[in-house]
Structure 1
Amino acid sequence: MSSVPLSILDRANTRVINGQTVEARAIFAEVTSRAQQAEKLGYQRFWVAEHHSVPGIAGSSPTLLIPHLAAATSHIRLGTGGIMVPSHQPFVIAEHIGTLTALTDNRFDAGLGASVGFTKPVRAALQHAADAKEHFADNVDDIIGYLNGTGEVTAYPQDRSQTPLHILTGGGSAQLAATRGAGLVLGGPAVTRGLNTTNETNQAVAEYRQRFTRSPLREHQPHVIASVNIAIAASRQAAEQLVLSEAWALTRSRSIGVFQPLEDPDTIMAAEPSEQQQRRISKALASSIYGTQEEVLEQIERVLAYTQADEIMVTGNIWDPAAQQESDRLLMEAWNAR
């Protein structure tokens, strides 16, 4: 597994300090600093996400954030994890892809997702039709046609089939990725199930590789990226503190319907979560990889054995940006030394 590269997906999570939510300007500066360090450390890609009307996430417009990151870096690949196709017109998505590839000197990866707004008001604001997700495959085909110049119209700047395309999925869209000659980005249980099994492999990945049809225009090879929350510290307990903030935000969202800014883990523990909340926290922690360098490497190897992935993408965000960058550094240090 020595040739498997590491990448990062940053959601631009906001956080609370002394009862105040950190401004988006500061969050984006931290994202930029993290991207610069990731480039120096040797990470393969740095992707940013798209979430709409989420108080705990500043990252709503990845296609606007990427040019800023491109200006602050020189060679690391940048991408969207992802552009949520139901929220945009396919032709406009194709224009954005062509523009970003031109602006980044071909460093751009287009990750495409099918998610819609989390709540009914958000879906209404985005003008989502009730069956928006059902048109995902057709919309992806339209985007490919506009990019390749094989559609009824061509998107400009012309992409000329340069930009690598990836489909984000929990496994359900693996066949779509295969038949369109796109990369596959797996997340959720399709990845973390590997933490609890030693003799199985992900069948969606096997079928993706078997069904992969290389486009005569794009000529991309099958490529599987496994995305999973990862955090490293000097001890397992310290690493658990790093992933606790996001686990708590996910837990609270189950109760109040809103994913809020990340909170200081010390504040969370002082609040003494209820038994139900603690069960939900434990469930969220079980879907993360965290611990010392040695413990994390062993868990990643299990995920790789299960997913047969070509690449690992680190997701999840940590309340303390300095601890986030230190975790990134420790991971790459351990990965290179194994």
Structure 2
Amino acid sequence: MLAVTCTSQSMTDPLTGLTVGERPDPIVPDGWTTVRLRTAALNHHDVWSLRGVGLPADRLPMVLGCDGAGVDADGNEVLVHAVVSSPGWAGDETLDPRRSLLSEVHDGTLAEVVAVPTRNLVPKPEGLSWEHAACLPTAWLTAYRMLFTNADVQPGSTVLVQGAAGGVATALVQLGSAAGLRVWVTSRDAARGEQALALGADQAFTSGARLPERVDAVMETVGAATWSHSVNSLRPGGTIVISGATSGDAPTKAELTKIFFKQLRVIGSTMGTRDELERLSRFVVDAGIEPLVDSVLPLADAREGFEAMVAGRVSGKVVFSI
């Protein structure tokens, strides 16, 4: 089968380890099944794997990819949930200390066929295109859990999204706007701020700007560079939901005094559950949301999409057709 594989790793030149070519069809353990993929999507996780972060070298070669949608062995149209829990785990799979994502222990979705636990299949709703289906299982699921499971916000609440350009950030804007939230964004790039406004954000500010009023919740994926601004932007009793730290995880000031004095909540959020993915896919269809797609490329041209992501030229999701 055709697949996109990490065959070696380099922190400074990650694309040297990217191989697009033939791989053996997957082995299917008991309790697992196969999905013949129609679309898959690219994530920063895939680039980090090529850099050697989160993917030990002794597991190479590894087929990359967490996002995918296709047809299962019984002919059903499905989305692939990428969080693989350990055998016997029950309950929220994101809390399983032995969980993994596809492409970390088991081959991922940037291939013609992927093997997944049968319980990880989510029916693809009628009306959800293959391109949009492939956008949902990672960045969009992360955004959904941040907003609707962990942020404790209601329609009419004001939410600040730090950094307007990334896949999670654009999903937060589109989901929050569709759910009746007042969404504000920050960005160092005025053009990215304008794009967020076009996607449904109510206001866009330069990074670190003083806001007109304090917000109910902050969606934090940037980390050290925006941490103090996030804390200072919250009303007393407000919530920071953090799912990443692209600028580093060691801010100059921890802001502990402000956190306890203002009784702020700081909640970590990682990916989401299979059930949340099912609810997300229905919400996207019912609300008429069209996830922002940067480009659609044949899987054979996957290197082009990786090059764009490494160069920082991506807005929305890069989708591969298979």
Fold conserved between structures, TM > 0.5: no
- The alignment's TM-score, normalised by the length of structure 1, stands at 0.26
- The alignment's TM-score, normalised by the length of structure 2, stands at 0.27
Return the structure number with greater strand share.
Answer: 2
